[in-house]
Structure 1
Amino acid sequence: MASQDAKPDWGSDSRPTPTLALKQALCFSCWDVSSHLRRCTACKRVSYCSVKCQKQDWNRHHKKICKKLVALNKQKGYVPSPGRQWKDHHNERVLDILRSGAQIPNELGRLVGYEPYCYRCYRQEVQLEDGAKLNACQFCHLTSFCTSCPQTHPSTECATLQDIAADDRILVDLYQRTGKTSAISFTMLPRKQYLPLSSATDWYDYYTKLSDKIGSSSRMNRDLRYQANDSKERQSIEYMRYGTNTTTIQLTLVAALEAIIPTISSQRSLNLHIIGAAGAEFSSAPAFEELLHLLPSLKALHISFVGPNVETQNPYPVQCCKMCTMMGRSTSIAVWRGPYHVYVDTESYQTPDLAAAFHSGFAVDEQAEWYPTIKYLANAPHPTLFTAAIYFEIEGEMGVWNYLGAGFAKNPEVNKWKGMSPSLVMCGDKPNEVCYNNYWWYIVQKR
């Protein structure tokens, strides 16, 4: 049985550092914008708006990693610009992460992975001529240039990076006001009649037809971009777009349930397992209410978070919204720490209607740890949903599944319920490569 540890605080949230701060466009401690940011004189990887913020961050985190960053800097020296290719920078970045001993996505790993470099010659600042500096793009602040290279990059690419910067500002505002970094924007009241999620073309349809944001239909386009000129309305639309990075989990689950259960419209109960659950899944826990809101016949929803990075405890009831409570509906969550292939042999296990592993990356990271679970899921008595951010991961995962002889209820394809807020890829295949939460999805099912 799962041990009876203290109940997790589902309202708490981790504090992921904004990309703008990693790129030294925000104070690394308080996240405020300042025209007088000063770098750490030792590692030169972080900047602060004041001595007070620098001291606070030193005592909180930076003193633990500064020496490692300094050591990495000393291993580099001047690199000439001519003939340098992206693969040279990419390989150096991967080597830096390995040398630092950093774990992704911890703070050290992100600082190493997102260190600014020249967009044109792919050199980091420590590889420039003595005393030379990198200049940030004045529009997105996420692209840098050395003084020897042209100071521009494609406008379409810059616009996407400006979205990342805008989302960072939402994150900062949200954290400063509420202490949270996840925005949840879903249906406030349960639907009275079932309307298939598959009937919606995109997030615009979801918000304006399935959800209760119909009043926003004339104020945004299908990319959830604001179309008028009111600052308060703009913020509301931006929060809806930012919120898709959280609610993508719940809508992808609903889409998978519709694909595997023909009678989902009349389903009275659901048992879901979230495999490898971590920060993103825990932050989105309140949004699981959306399954009750979109599936009117559903009375009982049970969710099990299973993974080596979760807290352990027995099942306990979660408070539903007032309307669902009046209708006798309920949600319960259980948490079990450990690998899923071990969990299936415990007394806590009950065969789920659907299991899901969001961004497992099992073919890229921790392959040995994941393999026993993946081998089990290839012949499990239930379908399992998988998602990935980039196609490179999908290619690796398909190789593993084919080796195991797995079948598919849905082959890999672009997920229309992917998050709409882009993220900068740490070690991408090209400069400024971006990805989206749950961009790809597929469903494994025993043949």
Structure 2
Amino acid sequence: PPPPPPPPPSPSPPPPLPLFNIADTPLTSDDSRTPALPQSFSPGTDSVFSDQSGFYSLDSNVPGLSKVILNQLSMKDFGEYRAAVEGKTKGLWFRNYKEMFQKMEETFKFCAGCNKLPERLAEGQTLKRCVKCLNVYYCTKDCQKKDWPHHKKVCKILRLVAIDRLVEWLMFTGDLPFPTEKWSKAPADVKGWDDWLPMQEGLTQSLDRVLSSANMAALWKNAGRTRPDDDDLRQSLWRIQSEFLSRVLTVGRAIQQFGLDPYLKPVTVHIVGASHSETMGARLTDYDELSHMFPGHQGIEIVMVGPEVVDGCIVRPPLRAFGPKHKVYISAYKGLYHQFWEDVVEKGEAARPDVVVGFHPGFHANQGLVQGWLPSLLLLRDYNIPSVFTMFSDTELQYSLQILLELEMHIRDSGPNPFSSQKPEQVQACPNKPPVHCNSHCVRFQGLLPQDDLQGSLNDEV
């Protein structure tokens, strides 16, 4: 990554600003600046920022916030945003780091009490930031006082969120994630982070290397706020590292839970509904932790499938048969899973999966998403494919379970994920809502619910 840009002439541009992870939103046919809201698409306001309801969820809480984001990203409409997220344009560049971080922070500036944006404030009025969390803003003391009963419950954790959203930029400079160490325990003995962390004897040194890096220094020189102390930054680096590893370890746990043996034969894993968060900036080495988990395995293939897959080095054909031993092979396909099955798997151009994993499918959010997921869910059920889906919270898990049971899925188990991300996620347009964590809960299912169990469920409902 280039250093902080020197004075003119010819300053080196900083890495692109991380694009906000909002999924595709339908556009009207006559005005690409305004998102259409189909009757079947009515997202709730309690989803995290990366939910598929994206811009709609933002504007339902803070009208006009999506326009602020587009303006700060120097985009004239949603079409340009979608093109950038999908990798169809070269990305975003700013004159220097200070401008980049300032524009990112501007997208969080609105009154948490009355939802006013800066452009709607009275003349001479400015938004003031909470001095404790440095995360939320207020237009007046009255708004702050009225909001305090809600904000005081989350102020401490939102302080961590404010640090993380800046430190997360190091994912785009290449400082994060850093390499991990080989496992000294058998996978069956690693039941969560408390078992995984002691195997990482060099973790502190790895954190300190990033802590003293040139990019960390550049970040806080230009971030527009005081640099936190080193202990806070180490914890932030670990939280962001954990979010990256959470997906990989969840896949490894799914392999274990379904009794698959990577030492006996190669294992194929399909990541269904893969989105920007899994594929933007993805590298061919992203799942190498599985080789630490199963050293000497016969080969593990990860195929990421989803309509929001971002173009990059992993977008390459999947394997048709056995892959290289002791290696993890990653490929990706842009499209719906049932289309991938019909166009690729059934034609023998890709191996059938041993297990399918979905990270935050989001079909609980509204009827439109349920209908979009229905062909893929029925495919998983009717082909009796072992599957694991993750959720952000227990509430989301319960809604998802209800939908899966209505489809007569055989639920094997559900509950908290021991490899949940440790990084809290803020609902941007509703900042005082308690933060959630990626992959915090999961459900494991396979095949059709046995008829005896189905009849019992119907009797319970009656």
**TM-score category (smaller protein):** 0.5 to 0.7
1:147 pairs, out of 126, 140, 148, with 140
State whether residues 304 and 333 of structure 2, in contact with CA within 8 Å, keep that contact through their aligned partners in structure 1: yes
Q: Output one character per residue of 1:341-382: Cα deviation in whole Å (capped at 9) or x when no partner.
A: 122233223221211111121232634332211222233332
Tell me which residue corresponds to 1:393. Answer: 396
State whether residues 197 and 255 of structure 1, in contact with CA within 8 Å, keep that contact through their aligned partners in structure 2: no
CA distance in 2, matches of 1:104, 1:258: 42
Change (3 A) 1:305 1:231: same
Change (3 A) 1:289 1:160: same
Structure 1 counterpart SS, 2:363: coil
State whether residues 113 and 427 of structure 1, in contact with CA within 8 Å, keep that contact through their aligned partners in structure 2: no
Tell me which residue corresponds to 1:277. Answer: 274
CA distance in 2, matches of 1:300, 1:265: 7
CA distance in 1, matches of 2:386, 2:234: 37
Confirm or deny that 1:207 pairs with 2:205.
no
CA distance in 2, matches of 1:108, 1:308: 15
2:256 pairs, out of 255, 258, 276, with 258
State whether residues 58 and 66 of structure 2, in contact with CA within 8 Å, keep that contact through their aligned partners in structure 1: no
2:187 pairs, out of 173, 196, 204, with 196
Alignment of 1:317-328 (within 5 A): none
Structure 2 counterpart SS, 1:149: helix
State whether residues 18 and 168 of structure 1, in contact with CA within 8 Å, keep that contact through their aligned partners in structure 2: no
Q: How far off is 1:113 after superposition?
A: 12
Change (3 A) 1:107 1:125: farther
Confirm or deny that 1:417 pairs with 2:419.
yes
Tell me which residue corresponds to 1:342. Answer: 339
Q: Output one character per residue of 1:302-349: Cα deviation in whole Å (capped at 9) or x when no partner.
A: 1212122335532479xx9xxxx9xx5222233222211122233223
Number of equivalent positions: 340
Structure 1 counterpart SS, 2:154: helix
Which AA in structure 1 matches 2:248? Q
Which AA in structure 1 matches 2:381? A
Q: Please list every run of 5 or more consecutive structure 1 residues that lacks an aligned counterpart in the other structure.
A: 1-12, 20-64, 70-88, 220-229
State whether residues 34 and 78 of structure 2, in contact with CA within 8 Å, keep that contact through their aligned partners in structure 1: no
State whether residues 419 and 439 of structure 1, in contact with CA within 8 Å, keep that contact through their aligned partners in structure 2: yes
Q: Output one character per residue of 1:221-247: Cα deviation in whole Å (capped at 9) or x when no partner.
A: xxxxxxxxx966765554222211111
Alignment of 1:20-419 (within 5 A): 92-93=60-61, 96=64, 116-125=109-118, 128-129=121-122, 131-149=124-142, 151=144, 153=148, 154=151, 157-173=154-170, 175=172, 178=173, 180=174, 183-188=176-181, 190-191=182-183, 194-196=185-187, 199-202=190-193, 204-209=194-199, 211-213=200-202, 235-261=233-259, 264=261, 266-282=263-279, 283=282, 285-310=284-309, 311=311, 313-315=316-318, 329-345=326-342, 346=344, 347-364=348-365, 366-411=369-414, 413-419=415-421
Q: How far off is 1:391 after superposition?
A: 4.0
State whether residues 246 and 280 of structure 1, in contact with CA within 8 Å, keep that contact through their aligned partners in structure 2: no
Change (3 A) 1:442 1:289: same
State whether residues 275 and 340 of structure 1, in contact with CA within 8 Å, keep that contact through their aligned partners in structure 2: yes
Change (3 A) 1:174 1:402: closer
Tell me which residue corresponds to 1:53. Answer: none
CA distance in 2, matches of 1:439, 1:415: 5
CA distance in 2, matches of 1:244, 1:396: 26
Q: How far off is 1:127 after superposition?
A: 5.3
Change (3 A) 1:174 1:344: closer
Structure 2 counterpart SS, 1:273: strand
Q: Output one character per residue of 1:32-68: Cα deviation in whole Å (capped at 9) or x when no partner.
A: xxxxxxxxxxxxxxxxxxxxxxxxxxxxxxxxx9x87
Q: How far off is 1:276 after superposition?
A: 1.8
Tell me which residue corresponds to 2:39. Answer: none
Change (3 A) 1:201 1:356: closer
CA distance in 2, matches of 1:93, 1:115: 13
Structure 2 counterpart SS, 1:287: coil
CA distance in 1, matches of 2:164, 2:359: 21
Identity of aligned residues (%): 18
State whether residues 383 and 409 of structure 1, in contact with CA within 8 Å, keep that contact through their aligned partners in structure 2: no
Q: How far off is 1:294 after superposition?
A: 1.0
Q: Output one character per residue of 1:270-325: Cα deviation in whole Å (capped at 9) or x when no partner.
A: 111111223332336523111111113413111212122335532479xx9xxxx9
CA distance in 2, matches of 1:103, 1:440: 34
CA distance in 1, matches of 2:305, 2:19: 26
Which AA in structure 2 matches 1:364? A
Structure 2 counterpart SS, 1:184: coil
Q: Output one character per residue of 1:89-133: Cα deviation in whole Å (capped at 9) or x when no partner.
A: 988427657999859996999999965343344544455555432
Which AA in structure 1 matches 2:432? P
Structure 2 counterpart SS, 1:350: coil
